[in-house]
Amino acid sequence: MAVKYLAGERIQGTAAERAALETTQEGSVPQTTWKELGTRAVASGGDTTELEVTFTAKDYLMILVHNTQSTPAGSGDIYALLGGSDYTSTDYRVRRVKNGEYGGNTDSDSSTTNIRIADGLSGTTGSNYFVSQFWNDDNSGAKLGIGHTVITNNTGTGNQCIAYEVVASWQPDTASTRITRVKIKTDDASHYFGDGTELVVLGMDVDEGDGGGTTNFWQEIASVKGDGTSTTMTTGTITLPKYLMMEIYGESMVSCKMRFNGETSSDFQRTYTANGANFTQNSGADGLEFLYDLAPASIHLDIVNVAGEEKLIIGHTVEANNSSSTVNRMELWAKNVDTAIITEISLSKPSGNFTANDNFRIWGHN
């Protein structure tokens, strides 16, 4: 563009040239978010030990795994493998922790052939949910990822959630090799994934344009905010899909709890750590608490919502601390034992109305 200046250093140009200089405004942002690259699921009655998705490489990858009870019960660690044209590059660096059980340290593998994303389910009715993201460019060599898994060995509030965290690096034989396939597998050929177990891979490029007809995976389902007249914020009864992602911001959320379908039964079980302290397990709660203190907070929740299954939840909270110069954090792994599909999500507190600055949004996909 040939730039010309008017008096006062003002730029002169054509309408098209001026448009090229304008900053993108809210409402016109391209929908360049996560696209579904592939999904594989276990059919009813299938004796399946592996699920695999292949795809065209993207800079960012999100991997979701919802695993129902494996067969036989009491066995079957779950592993993830990453690959380019094949799985011959099997150099992984992994660090993980389960319920903080390693005394604040982590169990690590400096060179291993896979990424263990969940321990085997010891019961007969359990399930788990794994959420992770990987950086997958063609320059960095190592493909780095962070993941969290919530595991429940059996149904019911008496069965605690297991908190699983993993960070990993895949070292391909050639630095420019990118991830174009993902596989999950059980620990040996005699252990099968349960019916309905599903692997989903999402992707997005740094400079990705609109999808060209490809629908964004995460579609906004609900946006709710306080109005100053109620101690409850609710979606009302709506259709909610299988995979849910929820963002909450609150400035007046003292003793706030999240509930599903208007129920107040003691259906929630939570395992959490606050500011890196020892892991704590609560069972039989009438709502999910996600705050450390009373100050303004931002919360991210990942939820899997399958009819006939317990609802599994992974959460992260960052919270301003009005009484000091520090901030608080909380990480939680939780479940709701009611197997009915979620059709309403609410936040409520015992006193003090929610203000217009208190809000939550939900995105989802089936």
Question: In whole angstroms, what is the distance from residue 6 CA to residue 127 CA?
Answer: 67
Question: In whole angstroms, what is the distance from residue 301 CA to residue 330 CA?
Answer: 12
pLDDT at 311 over 90: yes
State the average pLDDT for the chain.
83
- Specify the length of the chain in residues: 366
Q: Would you say the C-alpha torsion 149, 152, 155, 160 has a positive or negative sign?
A: negative
Question: In whole angstroms, what is the distance from residue 72 CA to residue 261 CA?
Answer: 33
Q: Would you say the C-alpha torsion 332, 336, 339, 345 has a positive or negative sign?
A: negative
Question: Which residues partner with 6 through β-bridges?
Answer: 10
In three-state secondary structure terms, 15 is: helix
HSE-up (13 A, CA, CB side) for residue 12: 5
| Segments making up each domain of the chain, as ranges | 35-204, 219-365
- Mean pLDDT confidence for 245-261: 90
Question: In whole angstroms, what is the distance from residue 134 CA to residue 138 CA?
Answer: 13
The stretches of the chain forming alpha helices (DSSP H) are: 15-21
312-330, pLDDT tens digit by residue?
Answer: 999 999 988 766 678 889 9
pLDDT at 245 over 80: yes
- DSSP code, position 197: -
In three-state secondary structure terms, 208 is: coil
Predicted pLDDT of residue 108: 64
Predicted pLDDT of residue 27: 46
Q: Which of 18, 293, 296, 335 is nearest to 149 (CA)?
A: 335
Residue 128 amino acid letter: N
Predicted pLDDT of residue 74: 52
Q: Which of 331, 332, 334, 317 is nearest to 283 (CA)?
A: 334
- Mean pLDDT confidence for 243-272: 91
Using pLDDT thresholds of 50, 70 and 90, give the confidence band for residue 272.
very high
- Do 156 and 267 form a contact (C-beta atoms < 8 A)? no
- Do 296 and 319 form a contact (C-beta atoms < 8 A)? yes
b/e string for 36-50 if b means 16 or more Cβ within 10 A?
bbbebebeeeeebbe
Q: Which of 350, 246, 331, 245 is nearest to 292 (CA)?
A: 331
115-149, pLDDT tens digit by residue?
Answer: 999 887 776 678 899 999 999 988 878 899 999 99
- Count of CB atoms situated within 10 Å of the CB of 170: 26
Query: In the numeric block, which tokens belong to residue 115?
Result: 């990424």
Share of the chain above pLDDT 70, in %: 81
pLDDT at 19 over 50: no
Q: Tell me: cis bond preceding 350? Omega within 30 of 0 counts.
A: no
CATH number for the segment(s) 219-365: 2.60.120
In three-state secondary structure terms, 8 is: helix
Give burial (CB, 10 Å; 0-12/13-18/19+) of 243: buried
In three-state secondary structure terms, 51 is: strand
Residue bearing tokens 């493998």:
81
